[in-house]
Structure 1
Amino acid sequence: MNESDWASCLDDPQGIRRFYSQVPDLSKCDLFYFLTDERGSGVTLGFETSCMPQRGDYASESREFNSFEFYLAFLNVRAFTVEGWSGPARKSVTLAPGVAEEIQVTIEAPGTFVGFEADSVSLAKSRFALVSRGD
C-alpha cells in the first residue's frame, strides 16, 4: 500500500477524494490534533497540509487560502499503545487494512510511538484556512 492509499481505508473514500486527484501523504501533513475519547472508544486525528485541493470548485475556492485541514475519526478503537510523544507536529502516519478488516494505525517519530486498531475511520470535518508559516 502506498502513502496515498490511506483513503481506501475510509468508510467513504470519496469524502477526501472529492478534493484531490491524489490525496496528500499523511506523513507529509502536520498532525496538529489528537483526541482520545474513552467514552466511545474513539480517536480523532487532525491534519494540516499546504497541499491544496486540485478538484473542481474546491480548487478555485482554495485560492484564497494556504492550508487545508481535515479530521479523521476512528471508531471502536482497541489495542491502544502510546510510548512517548514529542514535537514537531510532522510524524510518520500509517493507515492500513488489517487481516480481520480492522484498520491498523501507527504514528511514529523520534521519541513518539502510537499504535491502535479501529473498526472504521471517516472524514469527520474539513476546511480551508490561512496559516502563518514563518518560512
Structure 2
Amino acid sequence: MTASRHWPELRLLYGTAQPPDPGTCALFYVHIDERNTSVTFGFETPQLPPYPKPEWSAKPYNTLRFFVEFTDVTDFRMAGILAEAERSFRIAEDTSGFLDVAVVGDRREISFRAAASRVTQIRVELQGGV
C-alpha cells in the first residue's frame, strides 16, 4: 500500500514526487482510542514536500509531521510500550479492502486490522537549528 494512494492529503503536497513512506519516518506518537476503536500514529520526516501549504512560509521549518488515524480497528495486539529506533512499519491491504497494520521492533509490537485510514493532521516544525 502506498501513502499516495490512500492519503490524498500527502499526495497534494508531494505532487508527482513520492510521499514519504511511513516505514522510513520516525514514529513519535501512538494514541489508542478504545471508545472509537481507532489507533492514531504520528510520523515525522525531513523529506519536505515540493508543494507546501502557503501558510508554512511564515516561519522556517525542516521537518514535516503527519498523523494517520486507523478506524474500525479489530484484532489489536500490543507487546511492550517503549519506542525503539530500529523498527519496521507495515501496511498491507487484503482483497476485502481491510488494512493489516504492524509496527515491529526487537522486543515490541503493535498490530491490528483496520477498515480505513486517513491523514488527520499535517504540520511543519523546526527541529534543531538552521
Under TM normalisation by the shorter chain, which class is it? 0.7 to 0.9
Aligned counterpart, 1:66: 62
Match for residue 15 of structure 1 among 4, 9, 17: 9
C-alpha distance in 1 between matches for 2:58 and 2:84: 26
TM-score by length of structure 1 reads 0.82
Aligned counterpart, 2:77: 81
User: 1:74-109, CA deviations, whole angstroms, 9 ceiling, x for partnerless residues?
Assistant: 110000011223433553111121232111101011
Q: Provide the alpha-carbon RMSD of the alignment.
A: 2.2
C-alpha distance in 2 between matches for 1:52 and 1:17: 12
Trace 1:40-119 onto structure 2 (pairs within 5 A): 40-55=36-51, 61=57, 64-89=60-85, 91-119=87-115
2:32 and 2:38 in contact (8 A); partners too: yes
3-state SS of paired residue (1:19):
helix
3-state SS of paired residue (2:13):
coil
Q: Which runs of 5+ in 2 are unaligned?
A: none
3-state SS of paired residue (1:17):
helix
Q: How far 1:57 moved relative to its partner? A: 5.4
Residues 18 and 124 of structure 1: CA distance in aligned 2, closer, same or farther (over 3 Å): same
User: 1:50-92, CA deviations, whole angstroms, 9 ceiling, x for partnerless residues?
Assistant: 111123656x839820100000011100000112234335531
TM-score by length of structure 2 reads 0.85
User: 1:9-64, CA deviations, whole angstroms, 9 ceiling, x for partnerless residues?
Assistant: x2xx3211111120112121110000000001011100011111123656x83982
Q: Which runs of 5+ in 1 are unaligned?
A: none
1:86 and 1:112 in contact (8 A); partners too: yes
3-state SS of paired residue (1:18):
helix
User: How many pairs are equivalent?
Assistant: 126
Aligned counterpart, 1:6: 3
